[in-house]
Amino acid sequence: MANDMNVNASTVHTREAFYVGGQYVTDSKGTHSLQGQMYVERLLPVESQRDPRRPFPIIFIHGATRSGMDWFTRPDGQPGWASYFLSRGFECYIVDLPFRGRSPWEPGNGTMIAYPAESISRMFTACKDSGTWPQAKLHTQWPGAGTMGDPIFDQFYASGLQILSNPVLQEQASQAACAALLDRIGKPAILVGHSAGGSIPWLAADIRPQLVRMIVALEPTGPPFSKVGIKSGPGAPYGITNAPITYCPAVADPHTDFAKITVGAPSPGLIDCILQAEEPPPRQLVNLTGVRVLLVTAPASYHAQYDWGTVRFLRQAGVHVDHLKLEEKGVHGNGHMMFMEKNSDDVAAEIVKWIDEYEA
């Protein structure tokens, strides 16, 4: 637990903001606009507070309907993970993915959608009372009632954003922008991705494997080949992504090339998952095999039903992945927004322990 490691929210650091990526697009009038660029903030502890044991910067990638603000301040006003990881000596990069927040959207980029407060409350903040999955009753760590009219929920919902209805376009633009950020940093980094943003580290590592040291996947897009969440149904045709990702043997058509099998839930309270069949041998994510991965699951989240399948799929595909189930480390009561909840520092502490284990 992190109780003996209180966060210093005022860690002395330098702050820089810039944009990466994007390309000029010609319109019907022959004029140009820059599209697909990504806003980034860099937070660098002053030299006296940097930790030489941690030479790899961390890039924080938010989820759907969210922005980089998620990592700065929790909805209850307490310091977020940016403060925590800064206080541990990490160089931090916080992004607004393309078409979100301070990363511009152009009308030609596609249709935007938004979710009502009731859906957000049910899935993320008031799960104990309104969640429909078995683990929802375990949710105790959200600070407040988690419903409309509660000031903490209202602050959280106020920070929500519209998102592109086309996940392939969103993932491809985010992949290109994150690759541009990795190129600018110029040394291997640790990618932390949450929820729908959890597919971006796979895609970024796929085209910049030499610049991704580790991936921390906080309940990433899943389960394999499916989508469970506010809107459930078929999804992730490439298993863990909507956009194309490199496999060996190569995948030309994800709807026909994968040999799939439905695997029964390994224990009560879990759901069946679609995996690759064992014959022919599962296709390998060849550009991810050199990246260490930690997949984090919260005990009260709807992901607790099926993250087991995502972990098994990654291992089938040759990825070295550890599965951190928070309750097994004595961290209880968290939902999908674990990094915003009352015990978020305890969650962060477990991730730092894992990073340090592989950097020792």
What distance in Å separates the CA atoms of residue 222 and residue 324, rounded to the nearest whole number?
16
Q: Give catalytic residue positions.
A: 195
User: How many other C-beta atoms lie within 10 A of the C-beta of residue 159?
Assistant: 15
Helix (H) or strand (E) holding 207: helix 199-207
Closest by Cα among 347, 301, 344, 326 to 125: 301
CA 293, CA 36: separation in Å to the nearest integer?
27
Q: How far apart are CA 166 and CA 207, in angstroms?
A: 21
Distance separating alpha carbons of residues 124 and 126, to the nearest angstrom: 6
**Alpha-carbon dihedral angle through residues 105, 107, 111, 116, given to the nearest 10 degrees:** 60
Give the single-character DSSP code of 16: E
Phi-psi category of 348—alpha, beta or left, where left has phi over 0 and alpha has psi -120 to 50? alpha
For residue 321, what are the β-bridge partners? Answer: 293
- Asked if 350 and 331 count as a contact pair (C-beta separation under 8 A), the reply is yes
